[in-house]
């Protein structure tokens, strides 16, 4: 058998060792490359229905409820320190509601939508 060193070539490695190294590398890659969404752990269907996005040109944040029919929801925006920047309740909301960002500085914020006892948090970037 051949002793394994840091300068080994694939040709010199025994097949079992090579197989085990490849299996471990692929396993580690699959484990650490899982797609994840920060701050979101709600139901997949509901989470994808609610969309929060910004439009820097119009200085607005938009909340789209998609095909969900919500009687009302509470929308809050927090800055990075946890300070509440926007807090409003929308009754009988339209499919897309807008909120002004004219008084907000550039930066990263958290948008929180609360409805029917559920809470969904989305990251917002104001440019």
What is the structure's pLDDT at 39?
53
Q: pLDDT tens digits, residue range 14-55?
A: 788 778 888 888 877 776 665 555 555 454 555 567 888 888
Q: pLDDT tens digits, residue range 53-80?
A: 888 788 889 998 887 778 899 999 999 8
DSSP for 41-93, please give it. -S-HHHHHH-EEEEETTTTEEEEE-TT---SEEEEEEE-TTS-EEEEEEEES-
Q: How many residues does the chain have?
A: 127
Confidence of residue 127 (pLDDT cuts 50, 70, 90): confident
Q: pLDDT tens digits, residue range 83-111?
A: 999 999 999 888 889 999 988 998 899 99
Contact 113, 74 (CB under 8 A): yes
């Amino acid at each position: 058998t051949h002793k394994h060193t840091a300068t080994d070539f694939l040709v010199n490695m025994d097949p079992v060792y090579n197989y085990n190294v490849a299996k471990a590398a692929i396993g580690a890659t699959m484990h650490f490359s899982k797609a994840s969404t920060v701050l979101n752990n709600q139901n997949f269907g509901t989470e994808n229905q609610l969309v929060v996005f910004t439009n820097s040109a119009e200085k607005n944040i938009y909340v789209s409820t998609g095909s969900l029919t919500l009687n009302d929801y509470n929308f809050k925006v927090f800055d990075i320190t946890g300070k509440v920047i926007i807090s409003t309740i929308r009754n009988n909301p339209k499919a897309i509601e807008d909120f002004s960002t004219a008084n907000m500085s550039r930066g990263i914020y958290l948008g929180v939508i609360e409805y029917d006892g559920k809470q969904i948090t989305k990251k917002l970037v104001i440019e």
